[in-house]
Every structure is written in structure tokens, then in C-alpha cells.
Amino acid sequence: MHPGPRGTGAAVSPDFFPLFDRFPALRRIPRVRLCELPSPVQAVDLGNDRVVWIKRDDLNAPECGGNKARSLEFLLGGLKEGDSVITMGGAGSTHVLSTAVHAARIGVKAEARRWRQEMNPVAGLVSERVTRMLGRPPGRSASLALLRARCSALLRKVRHIPVGGSTPVGVLGHVNAGLELAAQIERGDLPLPDRIVLPLASGGTSAGLLLGLKIAGLDIEVVGARVGPRLFVNRHAVIRLAHRTRALIRSVAGEDPGDVGGSRFRIVQNVYGGAYGRPLPAALQAANILQESAGIRLDDTYSAKAWVAALDESRSAGSPVLFLLTFDARCLTN
């Protein structure tokens, strides 16, 4: 038997947001509460004295949780019922789906410009749900979709959210995740991990974690499992985004959260599989291990590839490895 999730927030305040406790002036930045934090942590026993801890961000919201829900608390902040938002992504983009779901929760109209990608079964389900919700099928060209989304935002009163929602404002949600994790470690919900493994695409989650862990004073390595093309998914992009988020905090709070540097950030390159959305053969077996041992379902685009990396890392780490689960399978059943 595997232990269930722990640290679900029973002993903390209804709106657990340590970033605001650390930098109270950041409360001036509009935020809409979409998540129920902290997300729980769970140990998965893989046998042979090997345990991987999981940060269950798939459970961080009542519906369609995951890493995007954290950033959308800020990206949708300040919008009123009847306002509009536009974003973009691949046909099976979980960011687009999360934006549509959470915008609807607060009465905001969502639009999306999508483009075709290499598909897998979960990406197909995501694409079908987005099409049902937003009524616009994906087009052929990513460049044309990006241009049309930008023009719509300029010509009409529509808030524009870039690909993946990875802007300094959106990254604040992931800075908070780093501080949230620090609080859970201090409370004893999980041991201090040697490293955190997560999917790496638009880079907002990794950038926020790096900054949050820096603020918390925790020496934990962030390991991004690259799931997109190297031209866009690389070390420079992540560190630059972390620096821009640092500058945002400094400008609003009047206090410098500190230099991220990047010495505690590493990218795993061998789980990409050759194309965004293309299933990785090794990931199917790895995902089945987690499904059978903990009842957790992964997706082929992001989390299954990162789980392969987490299993590899757990064989060499000197102390526990933490896997950040950014995909919520519940999104596929509604």
C-alpha cells in the first residue's frame, strides 16, 4: 500500500499564500483565487528502498489543477465578469484548456488561437475539450496563430496571455509554490529533497521555483525535463525569466529577493522524444508504474516524460527526489 497525500492544508489558513507574507506589498498586484493551497505531497514506494516524493499540484484547484492554475491566479487577476482574454498554444495545450476552464469560473470569456502539433491520446482529449469550450479548431500555422492573437489583443479590449502564461506576473504563482514547499518541509510533511524534477516547456514553473527556493534559503536543485524544442526551451530562457520576475518583485515590494544565478538549475535533454507532443516509448512503462503504485495518471506530452527523468534521478540522488506533478487528469473527464 502506498501512503496517500499529506499536507493538504488542514492546519493552515484558508488562503495559504506565503509570498504575500514575505512581501506584503505584492498584494497590490491583482489576483483572483483559483487554487486551494498548499497542494499535498505524497511518497511513492518503488521498492528496493527507493522512494520518490510527489508534489500533487494536480490537486491544487477544484477543477483543472496543475501548474497553470497557479499562474492564472495572477494572469486573470483584475478581470471582471464579462471581460475577455485571449491566449494561444498547440492543439493539445493544457495551458489553453486551463485558461478556458478558469476564465469560465469567474465569468470571463476566453478565446484561443491554436496550431496543429504532433498528437498523442491525452493531447487529443485536451484538444477536443478546448474545441467544445471555445468553438475554434486549431489552424495550420503557429506563426499565424500568434500574429492573430496579438492583433486581437491590440484591436479589441482583450487581455493577452502569451504562450504558456510564462510572464513575470504569472511566474509569481510559482515563486509562491517554492515558498509553499519550504513551509511543508519545515512542517515535516516531507523530508528535504535533494532535487525537484518537473517538465520544462515555457519555463515559468522552473523560473518561479528557482526564485522561491532562493528566497526560502533552500539549497535544492531544480531539474527541468525538456519537452519542447531546444530553440525555445533552454537554460537562458528560464534564467532570464527568473531575473525579470526578480525585477518585478523588487519594483513593487522595494526589496530585492536575491540573485537566482542558475547554479542549482539543470536541464535533462534525453526525454524530449524528437517533437513536442510525441510520446516517448520509455514513458509508457514508467507511467504505468505510477498508475499501478499510486493510481496517478500522467500525460504523454509533459508529465510522463518528466517522470522518466525523475526515476533516473532517484537512482543517483543522495537524498529524496521530489517530482512536481503539473498535469491534472481530471481535466479529461469533464
Domain coverage including residue 54 = 18-68+166-332
Domain match, 213 and 320 both: yes
Verify cis geometry, omega within 30 degrees of 0, for the bond prior to 38: yes
Which is nearest to 172 in space by CA: 110, 247, 237?
Answer: 247
Tell me which of 41-45, 46-50, 232-236, 291-295 is least confident: 46-50
From CA 15, how far away is CA 13, in angstroms rounded? 5
pLDDT in tens, 217-241: 999 999 999 999 999 999 999 999 9
Do β-strands 84-90 and 109-115 pair in parallel, antiparallel, or remain unpaired? parallel
Domain match, 184 and 203 both: yes
Domain match, 27 and 155 both: no
CATH number of the domain bearing residue 223: 3.40.50.1100
Domain match, 290 and 199 both: yes
Q: Choose the final residue of a domain: 105, 138, 164.
A: 164
pLDDT at 13: 52
Q: Which conformational region is residue 318 in: left (phi greater than 0), alpha (psi within -120 to 50 degrees), or beta?
A: alpha
Residue 5 lies in a domain: no
Q: The pTM is what?
A: 0.95
pLDDT at 9: 43
pLDDT in tens, 124-152: 999 999 999 999 899 988 899 888 888 88
Q: Is the pLDDT of residue 6 over 80?
A: no
Q: Choose the final residue of a domain: 144, 164, 184.
A: 164
Domain match, 61 and 78 both: no
Residue 4 lies in a domain: no
The CA-atom distances, in angstroms, between 54 and each of 44, 49, 73, 88 are: 7, 16, 22, 29
Residue 1 lies in a domain: no
Which is nearest to 90 in space by CA: 331, 306, 329, 277?
Answer: 277
pLDDT in tens, 254-265: 999 999 987 899
For range 272-279, the mean pLDDT: 96
pLDDT at 261: 82
Q: Choose the final residue of a domain: 164, 182, 208.
A: 164
